[in-house]
């Protein structure tokens, strides 16, 4: 762990105890090659452990340099691999002399029970249900799941649903144009920014890696 992050590592354990088992605290070391989690408390919420890599959303925050104008990002929605809804926040840990943050401290609060109670009360009171734009399929909630394979499977499933295919449809049976649509969907979600994604997507679509690169060039 990078030396500046060591006090934050102790803070992760403290906050996990103080805030309770409904709140996950994770610390990423951005100075390492893998930019992995180096400390985490209440990991049952996302299923991640020490060594887990950055999520696509975190990569997006760094690539768009949101840390330039903000010290933190608040109140965005994510979900764990079990589908539980989370409300999340990320604090960028900066050090003088470094152009990019040296770490990220992330807090994920399980709000599934609160969402259920809210929707139930609205039905009882006759209040019309309104969903945030974050819940729409064209802007899905970020999934805090370490395995890249699971993330790709989920995004492919979302894309097939949008295209009108049943859940049991085999993705390898898509025609060329349909496979290109799937690749574009994955690209829009930032999937190919993660190392190893090209290989996995090629396997799932039953095409070669060069074919995926050709599809990407068409976009």
Q: Where are the domains of the chain?
A: 3-114, 147-217
| pLDDT for position 183 | 95
Q: Give the number of other CB atoms < 10 A from CB of residue 177.
A: 7
Give ∠ CA 213-216-219 in degrees, rounded to 5.
155
pLDDT in tens, 126-138: 776 554 433 333 3
128 by DSSP, 3-state: which? coil
The pairing of strands 23-29 and 37-41 is: antiparallel
3-114 CATH:
3.30.450.20
Burial 34-48 (b: 16+ CB within 10 A, else e): ebbbbbbbbbebbbb
Helical axes 197-205 vs 209-217, angle rounded to 10°: 100
| DSSP conformational letter for 190 | T
Along the 219 residues of the chain, how does pLDDT read in single tens digits?
Answer: 899 999 999 999 999 999 999 999 999 999 998 899 999 999 999 888 999 988 877 887 888 888 998 899 888 877 776 667 788 899 999 999 899 999 999 999 988 777 667 767 777 877 765 544 333 333 445 666 656 787 888 889 989 989 998 877 889 899 999 999 999 999 888 788 777 889 999 999 999 999 999 999 888
| pLDDT for position 166 | 84
Q: Is the pTM of this model over 0.85?
A: no
- Residues of the chain by 3-state class (helix, strand, coil), percent to 5: 45, 20, 35
214 by DSSP, 3-state: which? helix
């Amino acid at each position: 762990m990078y030396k500046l992050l060591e006090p934050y590592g102790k803070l992760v354990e403290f906050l996990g105890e103080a805030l309770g088992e409904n709140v996950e605290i994770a610390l990423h070391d951005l100075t390492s090659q893998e930019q992995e989690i180096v400390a985490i408390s209440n990991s049952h919420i996302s299923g991640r452990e020490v060594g887990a890599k950055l999520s696509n959303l975190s990569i997006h925050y760094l690539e768009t340099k949101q840390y330039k104008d903000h010290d933190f990002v608040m109140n965005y929605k994510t979900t764990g691999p079990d589908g539980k809804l989370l409300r999340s926040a990320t604090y960028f840990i900066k050090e003088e002399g470094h152009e990019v943050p040296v770490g990220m401290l992330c807090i994920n609060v399980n709000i599934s029970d609160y969402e259920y109670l809210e929707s139930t009360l609205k039905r009882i009171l006759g209040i019309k249900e309104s969903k945030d734009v974050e819940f729409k399929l064209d802007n899905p909630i970020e999934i805090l799941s370490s395995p890249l394979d699971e993330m790709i499977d989920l995004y492919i499933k979302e894309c097939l649903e949008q295209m009108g295919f049943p859940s049991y449809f085999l993705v390898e049976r898509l025609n060329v144009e349909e496979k290109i649509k799937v690749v574009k969907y994955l690209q829009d979600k930032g999937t190919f920014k993660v190392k190893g994604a090209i290989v996995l997507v090629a396997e799932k679509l039953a095409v070669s890696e060069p074919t995926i690169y050709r599809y990407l060039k068409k976009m």
